[in-house]
Amino acid sequence: MKKDLAFIAKYIDDNADKFIKLSQDIWSYAELPFEEFKSAADLIAALKEAGFEVEEGVADMPTCFVGSYTHGSGGPVFGFLGEYDALDILSQEASNPEFNPIKPGAPGHGCGHNLLGVGALAAAFAAKEYMVAENKAGTVKFYGCPAEEGAGSKQFMARAGVFDDADFVYTWHPADSTEVQSTRSVAIMGGNFLFKGITAHAGGSPWLGRSALDAAELMSSGCNYLREHMFDQERIHYAYMDAGGTAPNIVQERALVKYEVRSPKVADLKKLWERVVKVAKGAAMMTETNLEYEVTMAFSDYISNDPLSLVAEECLNEVGAPQWDEEDYKLAKAFVDSFNPNAQASIREKIAERYGADKVDAIWERPLSSEIGPFIPGCTKYQSGSTDVGDVCYAAPTTQFRVATTCIGNVGHSWQMTAQSNSSIGHKGMIVAAKAMALSAIRTMDRPDVIEEAKKFTLAQNGGKYVCPLPDDVTPPIGRY
């Protein structure tokens, strides 16, 4: 084992219990976007205890912060992205493959951000300790990023210049496999459409009313017709926030609907959004209602930085995939069995596609990934999900790991994910992620050629500078998203 890997592995293993406990505490808080006060406080306390200077309330978000540690003079500036927000209605007992919410309807960590944040923190601490031990000059940062599951924060941070001095950034996400992410993610933009009409007696004098609900429904109809004329990987989602009341004999004077659109490229995203806005304006015109709309969130598409990713792949292979024991395999099988038949059929298809049809039955009985997938430079394949990590990659060289913390084929944003995010499976994956990110960072520190190529990659991607997909007047929608 190389000296740097041995140091990193020993430090993280020696402190694994502390990191696991912190991830469990954040899991128990299960705080929604922009409300992660306990989670942020615990992470900030850990940073200060480790000697980091912490700036709080970054980019006008109370639960956003940056911890920094500088050793020596000069050297690269690098960092790790941490998230710690939960999802609504996904409460579930830890490690339990039978549905049993701790509190029905309460939030839960159904995307594993308790693991994500603490894994990144552990990587920052390990990199810091190595810099000190080897007297390497540089600055390591931990970026505390709230609300990824909501309106996001990283685009607001990037717009505020938080990543301007970063030479490179590493992050990771809990997954059902272990690899440096090759695939891209799509860009997303969302906002609120408020229709205002005129109330009237729906039976006695409906001609005097102008229905805001009619306008909202016509907008839905128009967007349905728009779907035929979009790129294949584009999406339109919506949800009624206020349907104007519950009395059918009153013409609704108010209706509020939230829309989100996705597109593989941020430039195409803005075009699709404008088409949705035109549909909304048409609906208001047809119903003689008034329309007010606002953009509340937008993420750029994520593209893995090839020069960084090749270093990361080498380091991940040295660290190795998570090592499972028989209890882990039994637990993973129980979670696979907990999914409904449709989900199980999808899982079997996923196993066949990834490993081959002849291995489906064997993997079905032991559904944990114990190998490392290859990184594919120049990959242009997109996942349909979105993340505000995309805005970081447009602002600074950025690469994301995916590390197994769940059973193969796990359905994200589910109670099963919440349970696995506080299990031996999740904890083992988090420790591997921390080691891989820390090793990648200290190796990259010593490769000015890689840093230079990584910066060129980013400049080619962003056209010379980061441009936020949000209008300049859009502020973090705290308390209103």
Transcribe 267-322 into DSSP letters. Answer: HHHHHHHHHHHHHHHHHHHHHT-EEEEEEEEEEPPB---HHHHHHHHHHHHHH-SP
Q: Furthest-apart CA pair in the chain: how many Å?
A: 84
Mean pLDDT of 388-416: 97
DSSP single-letter state for residue 192: E
CA distance 83 to 145: 5
- Predicted local confidence at residue 267, as pLDDT: 87
d(CA 462, CA 275): 24
As a whole number, mean pLDDT of residues 235-261 equals 96
The whole-angstrom separation of Cα 210 and Cα 159 is 40
Phi, psi dihedral angles at 79 (to 5 degrees): -155, 175
Task: Tell me what the pLDDT averaged over the chain comes to.
Answer: 96
Q: Tens digits of per-residue pLDDT, 315-340?
A: 999 999 999 999 999 999 999 999 99
Q: What is the phi/psi pair of residue 118, to 5°?
A: -75, -35
Kindly state the average pLDDT of the residues 431-435.
98
The mean pLDDT of 204-221, rounded to a whole number, is: 97
Per-residue pLDDT tens for 154-186?
999 999 999 999 999 999 999 999 999 999 999
Q: Is 342 helix (H, G, I), strand (E, B) or coil?
A: helix
How far is Cα of residue 428 from the mean position of the Cα atoms in its chain?
20
pLDDT tens string 360-370: 999 999 999 99
- Residue 45 corresponds to which tokens in the numbers above? 């306390």
**Residue 150 confidence (pLDDT) above 90:** no
Backbone angles phi, psi at 334, to 5 degrees: -65, -35
What domains can you pick out in the chain, each with its CATH number? 3-185+301-462 (3.40.630.10), 187-297 (3.30.70.360)
If residue 168 lies in a helix (H) or strand (E), which one and from where to where? strand 168-175
pLDDT computed for residue 384 by the predictor = 79
User: Has residue 432 got a pLDDT over 90?
Assistant: yes
- State how far the Cα of 309 lies from the Cα of 115, in Å rounded to an integer: 21
Q: How confident is the model at residue 81 (pLDDT cuts 50, 70, 90)?
A: very high
The residue whose two tokens read 């953009």 is: 295
Mean pLDDT across 225-249: 94
pLDDT at position 246: 93
Q: Residue 480: is its pLDDT beyond 80?
A: no
Distance CA 41, CA 62 (A): 11
| Residue 415 banded pLDDT, cuts 50, 70, 90 | very high
pLDDT of residue 323: 97
Predicted local distance difference test score (pLDDT) of residue 479: 82
State the amino acid at position 288 in one-letter form: E
At residue 383 the predicted structure's pLDDT band, cuts being 50, 70 and 90, is confident
What's residue 385's pLDDT? 84
Look at residue 333 in the predicted model and tell me its pLDDT: 98
What pLDDT, in 10s, does the model give residues 24-72?
999 999 999 999 999 999 999 999 999 999 999 999 999 999 999 999 9
pLDDT one-digit tens code per residue, 449-473: 999 999 999 999 999 999 999 989 9
Instruction: Collapse the DSSP code of 62 into the 3-class scheme (helix H, G, I; strand E, B; otherwise coil) and give the result.
Output: coil
**Are the C-beta atoms of 240 and 289 separated by less than 8 Å?**
no
Which helix (DSSP H) or strand (DSSP E) does residue 187 occupy? strand 187-196
